[in-house]
Structure 1
Amino acid sequence: MTAQSLPLKGIRVIDYSHFLAGPYMGRCLAALGAEVIKVERPTMGDAGRAHPFFVNGQSGYFLQQNMGKQGLCVNLKDPRGLEMMHKLTDTADVFLENYRPGALDRLGLGYAELSKRNPKLVYCSVSAYGHTGPDSHRAGFGLIAEAKSGIMAMVGNPGEAPPLLRIALGDMYTGIHGVAAVCAALLGRVSSGLGQHIDMALYDCLVSMHEYAVQCYTFSGGTEIPVQTGHDLPQSTLYGVFSATDGYIVIAAQVDDAWKRLAALVGGPAFAADARFHSASGRNANRLEILPVVRTWVSTRTVADCLAQLDAIEVPSAKVQGIDEVVADPQVLARGMLIEQEHPVLGKVKLPNLPFHFSGCDTTITMPAPLMGQHNRSIAAGLGYSAAEIDRMVTDGVLYAESAVK
């Protein structure tokens, strides 16, 4: 393999975001080679620093989403701090923020102000509802978008309250869409010479994620509304979760050929020969006859026995794994999806990698997330501040660093 530079080498990103969607975007851009400067406010910093799991006062949540970044902690309410931020954004290619629409305008860090100073700036905003529309002023988190989007209404068992998804689907999906949009805007800037404002909304992204529900509703004239179905999909028989003697497995045999192989295994020749089940529409119409046969077959066997027999006939299946099994999975390890970093306080830390695999370069981030204010002095010096000016701002609290910073 011929080593190439990372795709975004030479791009400077100012990450003035908190918690998840924005920091995840910054982390991805750092992995792709951008210089990312994480800007925080004294003395608490990014709210993600207060999110578990904690070891020696350090948040694993924060470390995961902010690796590969430099850290600047500056008081923007002090005119000197705001001036430093403006000098920094003047040198930037990208600015990331995820505050409520209008909040940064009042601080002098909105798109109108920063683009006037730096017309090439790509400014990416993330919010719950976006910067337009009747709900744009409302606060929100991923949970709100999951509920509003119709996704939550389709999961869980009929008649029960929908469960929490337990992953930040809205934030992460919006974050990676933000990465794509930023990269596209940077490419567009090559010909136009101008940046632009990218307005990303968690709600928009989750509505766009419906591969089935929206078109099903509109194409049916409003008669078909997907609802909770529990452990299988009525429109994709057979596709669902099944209980073995020592755990759970999933089986995906919704394709005709895979179904025929599965049917012969679990129900014998007569079951496999039943022509009612030989088409997707036929299986869907007769799913209540099909499901008990499969459930009975799985329920009398261990997970390992089920998977061995299903693998032998090439029917896609898998164990429902816990996180302890995921981090030990040979496939996860072979793909480099867990990385170790050397943290200045914690020593070795192990965190999930990003799923980028390029043929010509390695996007694995080796630099851990910054301590609060860890790079104050080097960033300020790079903007032309003298050692005496930096010392004065440290003394006056314009620049702040946590005690662990040397």
Structure 2
Amino acid sequence: MSQSSHPSAQPLPLAGLRVIDYSHFLAGPYVGRCLAALGAEVIKVERPGSGDAGRQHAHVLDDQQSGYFLQLNMGKQGVSVNMRDPRGKDFMQKLCDSADVFIENYRPGALDRLGLGYAELAARNPRLVYCSISAYGHTGPDAHRAGFGLIAEAKSGIMQMIGTPGEAPPLLRISLGDMYTGIHAVAAINAALLGRVTSGKGQHIDMALYDCLVSMHEYAVQCYTLSGGTVLPEQTGHDMPTSTLYGVFRAADGDLVLAAQVDDAWKRFAALIEQHGGPAGFGSDTRFHTSGGRNAAREEILAAVKPWVAARTVAEVLALMDAIDVPAAKVQRIDEVINDPQIRARGMVMEQEHPRYGTLRLPNLPFRFSGCDTTVHQVAPDLGQHNADVAARLGFSADEIAAMQADGVLFSKQALTSSRQGPT
């Protein structure tokens, strides 16, 4: 559904704001994508030549785009600027002077050397909201260290809590640190923009992957601190010893999860198990009627539930759980997720028409507003695709733009291809 056809259509929340996305890979580009979906004009700035390193990340389509880049940079305009040329620096300074938000995710200090640090840009544009994303943040003994989401996931204690006891923790296989930090950055940027309404000034937002993942602990930190340092999370494999029954179980034809950890749900669940071939008295055993009792008898409970689930198909177990209103779900593959009627109904796999690749199916963002539609229909830009358009809006003359394009100050794959082909 387009914005214009949305019931009671309103302008997108960030319409009229300009965002400079001077970031690469994942966390920063994800922030830019979210702000574009919310209505901001987002201008993606890339280095000449190869551009954002994310262009070569899976799934690679050609030398200009990858699925990774297409997903994270939809809705943006694209420019590619040679900052080593004074004209390139002048272009970037004018662009940043016109901006409301600047996003970067380089190591602290890296952009200062290019004249794109917060102090220099804010001196020229005091209303600028400048968001930095890094592994450790801009303060502290590790601020100078490089890092990726994997580093933060290991350092944060999250990785140590998952997996099978006695084995090395598994790789998470989703970029939890980058995406969680990214959406926190979106929230912080919007808060800073709201604060600017009354203060008239922007500010520097310093987001760290490590900080965000430590903040994500809903129980591990407080269990340790409030117990005087005696309670540490341990690897438990497929369930949670402090929340019985809550975990992953193997059925005859696949895996599923069960969440019968709440007292009322447990009683319904245990009674059903007994009625359908489980141990006699399982449903009426009052030892299991409290959380503490279930946790103390965890191994006994698992010994009854695991074979009961294993003797049935996933569909059979899910039907029985639905009948008694106990939350349960199949552990789905990605192909099943994409074709899930709920995901289809929510529009969480969106379609875009690309001039080179045809119909693209990519993950949508989870924003849902009653008055406007945040679905992005504009595909991710080619490298330097909007150089001339952006330069013209900044006040550069046609001759200046042509000279910068000819000299590679404003770089584009299209210009490079044309020059190689020669005159026709």
Measured against the shorter chain, the TM-score band is: over 0.9
Structure 1: stretches of 5+ with no match in the other structure: none
Partner of 1:364: 375
**2:354, 2:398 → 1: CA distance?**
27
Report the counterpart of residue 108 of structure 1 in structure 2: 115
Cross-structure match for 1:238: 245
> Following TM superposition, by how much is the alpha carbon of 1:273 offset from its aligned partner in structure 2, in angstroms?
1.0
Distance 2:377 2:117 in 1: 32
Matches within 5 A, 1:165-184: 165-184=172-191
How big is the shift at 1:270? 1.4
Aligned residue for 1:288, secondary structure, equals helix
Q: Secondary structure at the match of 2:395?
A: coil
Deviation at 1:184, TM superposition (A): 0.1
**Structure 2 counterpart of 1:98:** 105
Amino acid at match of 2:121: L
Distance (Å, rounded) in 2 between the aligned partners of 1:55 and 1:194: 42
AA paired with 2:42? Answer: V
- Report SS of the residue matched to 1:13: strand
Corresponding residue of 2:3:
none
Taking the aligned partners of 1:300 and 1:290, their CA distance within structure 2 comes to: 16
Cross-structure match for 2:152: 145
- Secondary structure, in 3 states, of the residue corresponding to 2:410? coil
Residue in structure 2 matched with residue 16 of structure 1 by the alignment: 22
The answer (yes or no) to whether the contact 1:267–1:293 under 8 Å persists in 2 is: no
Q: Deviations over 1:326-381 (max 9, x none)?
A: 00000000000011112222121110000000000000000011010010000000
Secondary structure of 2:414's partner? coil
Aligned residue identity for 2:321: L
The code of the aligned residue for 2:283 comes to: A
Amino acid paired to 1:245: A
Give deviations 1:277-321, integer Å, cap 9, x for gaps: 111111011101101111111000001111011111111000000
SS of residue in 2 equivalent to 1:367 = coil
Q: Contact conserved, 1:7 with 1:33, CA < 8 A, in 2?
A: yes
2:273 corresponding residue in structure 1: 266
Deviation of the 1:267 alpha carbon: 2.9
**Whole-angstrom distance in 2 between the partners of 1:345 and 1:144:** 36
Alpha-carbon distance, 1:54 to partner: 1.6
CA distance, structure 2, for counterparts of residue 204 and residue 336 of structure 1: 32
Partner of 2:422: none
Alpha carbons 1:56, 1:346 under 8 Å: kept: no
Report Cα offsets for 1:210-233 as digits up to 9, x if no partner. Answer: 001000000100000001000000
Q: What letter matches 1:218 in structure 2?
A: T
**What are the equivalent positions in structure 2 for 1:63-82 lying under 5 Å apart?**
63-82=70-89
1:204 paired residue number: 211
**Of the candidates 364, 373, 383, which is equivalent to residue 353 of structure 1?**
364
Normalising by structure 1, we get a TM-score of: 0.99
| Residue 129 of structure 2: aligned partner | 122
State TM-score, norm by structure 2.
0.95
Alignment correspondent of 2:59:
53
SS in 1 for 2:283: helix
Alignment partners' CA distance in 2, 1:237 and 1:275: 14
CA distance in 1, matches of 2:176, 2:252: 31
Query: How far apart are 1:117 and its partner, in Å?
Result: 0.2
Tell me the distance in 1 between the aligned counterparts of 2:201 and 2:350.
Answer: 37
Which of 303, 309, 321 is the equivalent residue of 1:310? 321
Cα shift at 1:255: 0.3
Report if the CA contact (8 A) 1:130-1:136 is conserved: yes
Q: 1 CA distance for matches of 2:117 and 2:339? A: 45
**2:145 partner amino acid:** R
Q: CA deviation at 1:56?
A: 3.5
Structure 2 residue runs without a partner (length 5+): 1-6, 419-424
2:199 is equivalent to residue 192 of structure 1: yes
Identity of aligned pairs, percent?
A: 72
SS across alignment from 2:123: helix
* Equivalent of 2:221 in 165, 189, 214: 214
